[in-house]
A and B are shown apart, each in its own frame.
Chain A
Amino acid sequence: MLKENEINIGDTHTATLVEDLKRTQIVQYAGASGDYNPLHTDEIFTTQIAGYPSVFAHGMLSMGLTGTMLTDYVGDGTLMKYGVRFTNQVWPGDTLKSTATIVDIRDQDGERVVDLEVVTTNQNEVPVVTGNATAKIES
């Protein structure tokens, strides 16, 4: 858990989420999440029927990877809110980096919390996930 006397508005935490994303990791996510949409695992369907250049990651895989960075920073079981927008697709071969920025430190329902902005970008600096989160902190 973050400690209030150790953080400031504007503080950031950055992590590399994945380097050279493999199709197998996308398959792994399909199996674990139960989302077997062929757009993510079936190259033939995705290129010949859906018209995409290749399979691509589930949005929820990008959100899950980003969540790993987030909980590594704010601590386990402290999140009160986590929401994202999927702004660009994530493709096999992508390398993703994610940053959380503290934008507010405040009270909510009698607890001290931080608000964070979250952005995950690919190797071309294009944002793939943008969002925000709120986590409990130790006062």
Chain B
Amino acid sequence: MAIDKFLIEASHIMMFARSVGDSNPIYHDEDYAKSTELGGIIPPPTFAQSSAQFDPEYFLRPKVGGDGWFGSGKEATGSKPSSGSGGGGGAAMGLHAEQHFEYHLPVKAGDTLSATTKPGKAWEKESKRAGKLKFSESVTEYRNQDGDLVITATGVGVQTERAVDS
């Protein structure tokens, strides 16, 4: 995955913060945010995940005018899912196993980040709850408009042999 422009926008931050149950004004009230040491609206700690919005190839979003979305319509599924990716949540049998963020420099509304992702380690494990598990790691580096590394995100995805017993 490569993202040229991940715009850090106040309204997107507001919507994201709402969805994670966070009413902190630092995420939606510009006047308040400007009065703090941070000097403006900042994104919540897991906001980098929403860079998927800016990935033209992101496979867990129905494409405009495209076909092949695997969610239900007339039938329970539209089509076969395309291949999974580490840490992104995976396809029909893919799940997110771990996520790690390292914050190197502050990010604020108004910044424009770019992101590049590289595959990391891969390993396998047997489990009672879901059969054979195939883990794969992906490491995404987010840089700001000055080219400085701001966030490193490491995701671990797991493909399970079958649905996980709960």
Give B contacts to A, CB under 8 Å: 12, 15-16, 18-22, 24, 26, 36-38, 42, 44-46, 49-50, 52-53, 58, 60-62, 70-72, 76-77, 88-93, 95-103, 106, 154, 162-164, 166
Distance, CA A131 to CA B103, complexed state (A):
16
Give the contacts of A26-46 with B (CB-CB under 8 A): 28-29, 31-39, 41-42, 44-45
Distance, CA A49 to CA B60, complexed state (A):
16
Tell me which residues across on chain B come within 8 A of A18, comparing CB atoms: 21
A45 x B19 contact (CB < 8 A): no
B16 x A50 contact (CB < 8 A): no
Distance, CA A68 to CA B18, complexed state (A):
10
Known: A33-B49, A67-B45. A61 touches B38 (CB 8 A): no
Shortest CB-to-CB span from A129 to chain B, Å, is 10
B96 x A86 contact (CB < 8 A): yes
Total cross-chain contacts (CB, 8 A) = 157
* Interface of chain B: mostly helix, strand, loop or mixed: loop
Shortest CB-to-CB span from A50 to chain B, Å, is 5
Distance, CA A68 to CA B71, complexed state (A):
30
Distance, CA A88 to CA B15, complexed state (A):
26
A-B contact pairs, 15 of them (CB 8 A): A35-B52, A41-B71, A45-B76, A52-B163, A59-B96, A60-B99, A67-B46, A68-B24, A76-B26, A77-B26, A77-B37, A79-B45, A80-B102, A80-B103, A83-B154
CB of A13 closer than 8 Å to a CB of B: no
Tell me which residues across on chain A come within 8 A of B154, comparing CB atoms: 83
**Which one, B22, B24, B70, contacts A38 given CB within 8 A?**
B70
Identify the closest chain B residue to A70 (Cβ). Answer: B45
Distance, CA A29 to CA B96, complexed state (A):
15
Give A contacts to B, CB under 8 Å: 17-18, 25, 28-29, 31-39, 41-42, 44-45, 48-53, 58-61, 63-65, 67-68, 70-72, 76-77, 79-86, 88-89, 91
Tell me which residues across on chain A come within 8 A of B106, comparing CB atoms: 77
A34 x B164 contact (CB < 8 A): no
Known: A35-B52, A38-B72, A89-B164. A64 touches B60 (CB 8 A): no
Shortest CB-to-CB span from A88 to chain B, Å, is 7
Closest 5 CB pairs of A and B: A83-B100, A64-B20, A38-B71, A34-B53, A59-B96
Tell me which residues across on chain A come within 8 A of B24, comparing CB atoms: 68, 71-72, 76
